[in-house]
């Protein structure tokens, strides 16, 4: 019976201790997650999506109307000035070239010698007519009638006119004169048209697009190829205009191509647009890529992470511990001696997950992770430290340090 009594006393003591511990825990307050404010490096970045573009592009078309006979390049091919891109059907123009060449040959071998012979004949006829007219004028009066003398003079005049006509024609057919010049111009025009049936690259670059296939009818004004000129490669990004004050020329950035997420590469800002797109509320920022990765392609989608500011050592607080944010002011639930105190803080650099505390908190202070807690001022709480690390959140690709701005 004494053993039973001892057991009853032990149970009562345990119940009293359990009740006392529960009462103590109740007095201490609920167990809530919290952060400890620490000094750590902090990087402020702005993130957005952009596209890869070469600085210059050129569009290639045809100067004449024709049917495509052959295409010599594909998308992605590297071309140099003079490289053949496209061949058009040229039968009709080639015939015009041959006709012009034949006309020049005929001029040299037939028309010009014939004109020279005609000139010699006309000259001989003129000389004969002139001698006959002179002879008849010199005969004694009464030997020849006036009519016969007039006929001789008229024959001389006709022979002289014929000689002048033949001489002018022969002169026109002479080497380097009008007729040859006209035929050579006709040949040059036909050859120029024939050359236009072979469309060649005027610049060095990469073929981006082609909009033509063999058998297509092409006309002037239609774009057949787009070529990206060799040279600098840029990334164009439309950032929200709210971030404009944070940007400056030569700021560094880290770029990640959606197709190659494990191969980031550097870039730097080399242009900030002087105007805002009123429809989208964005400002265009261009970043220069140098060196250009081998995998980078024209119009490729990339994520750009621009470093706009940095603190080597700053008091850092997770953003979910902030409430009532107005400008650079916010309220945190500071815990001292186990009690809650609403504390106003001044913020510096703002990130997507963490921000800098300029004033209102000190290193080692503890704040509740839930800034919207309904607990009243002075309420007691117990703290459970969160696992979120404040020691080294400086990786540029870490979303913890990004500004709260991201565009798709």
Give the pLDDT of residue 173: 83
3-state SS record for the chain: CHHHHHHHHHHHHHHHHHHHHHHHHHHHCCEEEEEECEEEEEEEEEEEEEEEEECCEEEEECCCCEEEEEECCCCCCEECCCCEEEEECCHHHHHHHHHHHHHHHHHHHHHHHHHHHHHHHHHHHHHHHHHHHHHHHHCCECCECHHHHHHHHHHHHHHHHHHHHHHHHHHHHCCCCHHHHHHHHHHHHHHHHHHCCEEECCCCEEEEEECCCCCCEECCCCEEEEEEECCCEEEEEEEEHHHHHHCCCCCEEEEEECCEEEEEEEEEEEEECCCCECCCCEEEEEEEECCCCCCCCCCCEEEEEEEEEEEEEEEEEEHHHCEEEECCEEEEEEEECCEEEEEEEEEEEECCCEEEEEECCCCCCEEECCCCCCCCCCCECEEEECCCCCCCCCCCCCHHHECCCCCC
Q: 363: Cβ–Cβ under 8 A, 6 or more apart, which residues?
A: 37, 38, 39, 315
Cis omega before residue 291 (within 30°)?
yes
- Residue 302 β-bridge partners: 50, 257
Other Cβ atoms closer than 10 A to 29? 17
Q: Cβ atoms within 10 A of the Cβ of 112, count?
A: 17
Tokens at 102, concatenated: 């034949």
Which residue, among 403, 399, 244, 333, has the nearest Cα to 37 in the 3D structure? 333
What is residue 392's predicted lDDT score, i.e. its pLDDT?
31
Q: Can you give the pLDDT at residue 177?
A: 85
pLDDT digit string (tens) for 15-67?
Answer: 666 555 555 444 445 778 888 888 888 888 888 999 998 777 788 999 999 99
Q: Dump pLDDT digits (tens) for 154-165.
A: 888 888 898 888
pLDDT value for 304: 93
Q: What is residue 256's predicted lDDT score, i.e. its pLDDT?
A: 93
- Residue 6's pLDDT is what? 61
Walking along the chain (408 residues) 10 residues at a time, the average pLDDT comes out as 60 63 51 85 87 83 92 90 93 91 88 86 85 75 67 84 86 85 90 92 88 92 87 88 90 92 92 92 92 85 90 88 88 86 89 85 87 74 62 32 33
- What confidence tens digit (pLDDT) does each residue in 395-404 have? 333 333 333 3
Nearby residues of 169 by Cβ (< 8 Å), 6 or more positions away: 115, 118
CA dist., res. 200 & res. 63, Å (int): 12
267: burial class by Cβ within 10 Å (0-12, 13-18, 19+)? buried
The dihedral region occupied by 337, where left means phi > 0, alpha psi between -120 and 50, and beta the remainder, is left
Check residue 254 and give its pLDDT: 92
Q: Please, are residues 367 and 401 in contact by the beta-carbon 8 Å criterion?
A: no
pLDDT tens for 61-76 read 999 999 999 999 998 8
Give the pLDDT score at 24.
47
The pTM is what? 0.50
Strand-pair partners of 61:
223
CA distance 64 to 83: 19
Strand 339-350 vs strand 329-336: parallel, antiparallel, or unpaired?
Answer: antiparallel
């Amino acid at each position: 019976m004494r053993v039973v009594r001892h057991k009853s006393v032990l149970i009562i003591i345990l119940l009293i201790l359990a009740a006392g511990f529960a009462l103590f825990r109740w007095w201490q307050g609920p167990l809530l997650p919290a952060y400890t404010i620490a000094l750590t490096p902090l990087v402020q970045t702005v993130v957005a999506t952009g596209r890869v573009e070469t600085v210059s592009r050129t569009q290639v078309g045809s100067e004449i109307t024709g049917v495509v006979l052959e295409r010599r390049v594909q998308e992605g091919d590297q071309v140099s000035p003079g490289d053949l891109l496209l061949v058009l059907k040229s039968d009709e123009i080639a015939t015009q070239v041959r006709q012009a060449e034949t006309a020049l040959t005929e001029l040299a071998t037939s028309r010009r010698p014939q004109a020279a012979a005609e000139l010699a004949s006309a000259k001989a006829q003129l000389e004969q007519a002139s001698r006959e007219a002179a002879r008849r004028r010199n005969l004694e009066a009464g030997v020849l009638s006036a009519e016969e003398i007039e006929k001789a003079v008229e024959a001389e005049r006709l022979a002289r006119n014929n000689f002048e006509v033949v001489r002018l024609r022969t002169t026109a057919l002479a080497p380097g004169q009008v007729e040859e010049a006209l035929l050579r111009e006709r040949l040059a025009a036909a050859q120029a048209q024939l050359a236009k049936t072979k469309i060649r690259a005027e610049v060095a670059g990469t073929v981006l697009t082609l909009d033509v296939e063999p058998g297509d009818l092409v006309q002037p004004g239609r774009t057949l190829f787009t070529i990206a000129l060799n040279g600098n490669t840029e990334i164009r990004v439309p950032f929200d205009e709210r971030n404009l004050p944070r940007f400056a020329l030569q700021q560094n950035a880290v770029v990640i191509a959606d197709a190659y997420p494990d191969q980031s590469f550097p870039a730097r800002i080399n242009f900030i647009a002087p105007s805002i797109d009123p429809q989208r509320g964005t400002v265009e920022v261009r970043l220069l890529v140098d060196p250009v990765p081998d995998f980078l392609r024209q119009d490729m989608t990339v994520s750009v992470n621009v470093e706009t500011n940095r603190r080597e050592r700053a008091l850092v607080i997770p953003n979910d511990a902030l409430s009532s944010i107005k400008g650079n002011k916010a309220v945190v639930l500071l815990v001292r001696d186990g009690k809650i105190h609403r504390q106003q803080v001044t913020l510096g650099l703002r990130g997507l997950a963490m921000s800098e505390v300029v004033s209102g908190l000190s290193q080692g202070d503890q704040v509740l992770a839930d800034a919207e807690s309904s607990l009243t001022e002075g309420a007691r709480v117990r703290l459970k430290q969160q696992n979120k690390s404040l020691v080294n959140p400086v990786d540029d690709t870490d979303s913890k340090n990004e500004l709260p701005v991201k565009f798709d």
